[in-house]
Chains A and B, each alone.
Chain A
């Protein structure tokens, strides 16, 4: 397929290429406590996008001057595995990964109660095992689960999803094909109980009305994702909590 030709991404009956309705996310799977060494860890997949997140700390930073006197520093690394994409990705951090590390850090900073751990550092490592669209939002979802699993005090869980526009239709949770040929990609993450949008980017062009509609769609989907995150955490700790 040559660049510039937009394939038909929405079928005549209104469904998408993989049979989903515009407002449906892909099948979501979540697990917490998947790693042995990490203080907290989580594995989240949205369809074929698979992400692993791990938390270490609060601990003393290696460079002891890298501290804040009143709260903990959050250190985030978003990284894509070399085998996560169609062509092998060089493991060296790309400009995209550096930007996304920052965006993900800023998405989590409002919810982590860092004031409880002054002069320390909380490390958060996100590895994308397989990329099929929406990696940063899946990463945020996994990261907030890992933080909760590590027992770090949090104001709320953060859940993320990407809203896209393909063939003029707003769709929820776009995959790689829809991202590549669609008109817009709007990753959003929210702390749903507090109603705070902590991550918002737009890659593409939307009118004002479409933007308002996209925000509503994101909010609706994220409430469902957040509910799933809570269920996952409670299942993991059901044995401890029943006693």
Chain B
């Protein structure tokens, strides 16, 4: 059996193994690979898997994604998802998609506390980090985790980028206006900004 496979290559017969990740089994009784990658046989679960060398840029359950709030409804926040955060070591990198996908944050997944008005948490145009909890477009998202929330927002009065005060407050350095937000508690905020120039220039100017 081959160790390195391309789409369509056989990984075994259906009697031998179960379908694992990246493997499908409706091709003439054989298990075949979906991707170019490495074959991996899980002898405990008896599954054949393929670890892809490259996987389509598509969010999966549990992924952290980054998006821009496009609309706030009474019971949910709608965003355009622009990319995926990839944790490498201790820093997050943004993998931008070549288009957008839609995300929805229902009111019960916004924060741990009782949420009365979503405008106390987000505003249209905010750049938000959220975790994917659904598996199809439009993706259901959650911002309950501390690292999820707003990472970039503009002052509603004078359009200056806001500064973080604490996990619920942001402040305008120009006019001193304090705004309620669900703030993302992440360290390397600047790095994410710099990786997201395309999004910022598109939405801010």
Direct contact of A and B (CB under 8 A): yes
| Chain A interface (Cβ < 8 Å from any Cβ of B) | 37-39, 56-60, 67, 111, 113, 117-120, 148-157, 191-195, 229-230, 233-234, 237, 240-241
A224 to B186 CA separation, bound complex (whole angstroms): 52
Given A59-B101, A241-B37, are A193 and B136 neighbors across the interface (CB < 8 Å)?
no
> Chain B residues near A192 (CB, 8 Å)?
8
Contact B101 A151 (CB under 8 A): no
Q: Which 10 A-B pairs have the closest CB atoms?
A: A59-B99, A156-B8, A237-B53, A193-B8, A153-B34, A154-B7, A151-B54, A119-B137, A230-B6, A151-B55
Given A118-B136, A119-B136, are A194 and B99 neighbors across the interface (CB < 8 Å)?
no
Q: Does B100 count as interface, using CB distance less than 8 angstroms?
A: yes
Contact of B98 among A59, A118, A153, A154 (CB under 8 A): A59
**Count of residues in B whose CB is under 8 Å from the partner chain:** 33
Q: Does B58 count as interface, using CB distance less than 8 angstroms?
A: yes
Contact of B56 among A39, A60, A193 (CB under 8 A): A39
A89 to B28 CA separation, bound complex (whole angstroms): 44
Q: In this complex, what residue of A is CB-closest to B26?
A: A155
Given A59-B99, A153-B35, are A193 and B137 neighbors across the interface (CB < 8 Å)?
no
> Chain B residues near A240 (CB, 8 Å)?
53-54
Counting residue pairs across A and B whose Cβ atoms lie within 8 Å, the total is 108
> Chain A residues near B100 (CB, 8 Å)?
59-60
Contact A193 B4 (CB under 8 A): no
Can you report 6 residue pairs joining A to B where beta carbons are below 8 Å apart?
A59-B100, A60-B100, A117-B56, A151-B52, A233-B36, A240-B54
Contact B7 A157 (CB under 8 A): yes
A155 to B27 CA separation, bound complex (whole angstroms): 8
Given A118-B136, A156-B32, are A241 and B38 neighbors across the interface (CB < 8 Å)?
yes
A237 to B4 CA separation, bound complex (whole angstroms): 10
Contact B55 A60 (CB under 8 A): no
Contact B53 A39 (CB under 8 A): no
> Chain B residues near A153 (CB, 8 Å)?
7, 22, 24, 34-35, 56
> Chain B residues near A120 (CB, 8 Å)?
58, 101, 137
A177 to B166 CA separation, bound complex (whole angstroms): 73
Could you tell me which residues of chain B, from 96 to 134, have a CB within 8 Å of some CB in chain A?
A: 97-102
Q: How far is the CB of B58 from chain A (nearest CB, A)?
A: 6
> Chain B residues near A230 (CB, 8 Å)?
6, 9
Contact of B138 among A113, A119, A194 (CB under 8 A): A119
> Chain A residues near B19 (CB, 8 Å)?
none
A191 to B35 CA separation, bound complex (whole angstroms): 15
> Chain A residues near B57 (CB, 8 Å)?
39, 151
> Chain A residues near B52 (CB, 8 Å)?
151
A230 to B36 CA separation, bound complex (whole angstroms): 9
Contact A241 B34 (CB under 8 A): no
> Chain A residues near B137 (CB, 8 Å)?
60, 67, 117-120
Contact of A149 among B4, B54, B101, B138 (CB under 8 A): B54
Q: How far is the CB of A131 from chain B (nearest CB, A)?
A: 28
Contact of A57 among B8, B37, B98, B136 (CB under 8 A): B98
> Chain A residues near B4 (CB, 8 Å)?
234, 241
